């Protein structure tokens, strides 16, 4: 049993280290901070809408910039960020940083629609390296937790506790692939995340297919 636990700990450590290469800290206007995932090596970041609440929305023409949004990269560099798109209904926001001189690691994408109850997943956020794991309860819009919050919205419900610094951070499967964006607690030991397929739909709608290049 001790050998099995040691192997599990090593595997979990590797997963956290790999996922941490795509984890960023997001701060907005001095109102605290949350997390985000590097979606594209060109500097596209996904986080929660509530993490950057109060910033201006930037439309497809790119005329507006966010107010005091700062992104700290995995290497510790802090850069100003632009708000590209925001969807408060699904608690999503897309940011952009000018990170040409940095070798950003985009997080690999998983399949949220294939998640099964009992499947082990890990939520990551800040402080750096803050990781918590738990089993999937279910996903969709017909979960009791989903109906109590927004009946027209899809969620992933997971048996784990999210800290405030987890907001906007990645929810990854056992292979370190992104299956959701952490957003809120829905009760004792029930964390909620936005499924990655909902994030994809948001990006296609707001930024077009170029968001996936």
* pLDDT above 80: residue 212: no
Q: Give the list of residues 6+ apart from residue 177 with CB closer than 8 angstroms, or none.
A: 107, 108, 109, 110, 111
Q: For residue 84, what are the CA distances in angstroms to 26, 31, 44, 108, 139? A: 14, 20, 9, 21, 27
Beta-strand runs (E) in 29-63: 33-40, 44-47
Does the pLDDT at position 34 exceed 90? yes
Contact 163, 125 (CB under 8 A): yes
- Higher pLDDT: 2 or 135? It is 135
Q: For residues 180 and 193, is the Cβ–Cβ distance under 8 A? A: yes
The pair of three-digit structure tokens given for residue 209, joined into one six-digit string: 């297919």
Please report, rounded to a whole number, the percentage of residues in the chain having pLDDT higher than 90: 61
For each of the domains in the chain, give its residue range(s) and CATH number, in order of start.
Answer: 19-106 (2.40.10.10), 112-199 (2.40.10.10)
Q: How far is CA 73 from CA 63, 65, 101, in A?
A: 25, 20, 12
pTM recorded for the entire structure: 0.87
Binning pLDDT at 50, 70 and 90, where does residue 83 land? very high
Give the pLDDT confidence of 131-153 residue by residue, as tens digits: 999 999 999 888 776 655 555 78
> What's the chain's average pLDDT?
85
């Amino acid at each position: 049993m001790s050998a099995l636990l040691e192997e599990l700990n090593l595997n979990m450590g590797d997963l956290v280290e790999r996922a941490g290469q795509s984890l960023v800290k997001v701060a907005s206007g001095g109102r605290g901070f949350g997390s985000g995932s590097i979606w594209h090596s060109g500097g596209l970041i996904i986080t929660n809408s509530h993490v950057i609440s109060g910033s201006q929305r930037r439309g497809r023409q790119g005329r507006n910039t966010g107010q005091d949004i700062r992104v700290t990269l995995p290497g510790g560099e802090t850069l100003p960020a632009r708000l590209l798109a925001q969807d408060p209904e699904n608690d999503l926001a897309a940011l952009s940083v000018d990170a040409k001189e940095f070798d950003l690691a985009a997080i690999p994408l998983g399949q949220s629609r294939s998640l099964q109850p009992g499947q082990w997943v890990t939520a990551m956020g800040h402080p750096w390296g803050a990781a918590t794991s738990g089993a999937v309860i279910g996903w969709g819009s017909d979960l009791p937790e989903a109906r109590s919050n927004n009946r027209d919205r899809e969620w992933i419900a997971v048996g784990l506790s999210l800290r405030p610094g987890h907001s906007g951070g990645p929810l990854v499967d056992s292979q370190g692939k992104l299956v959701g964006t952490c957003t809120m607690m829905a009760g004792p030991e029930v964390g909620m995340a936005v499924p990655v397929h909902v994030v994809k739909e948001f990006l296609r709608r707001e930024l077009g297919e170029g968001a996936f290049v």
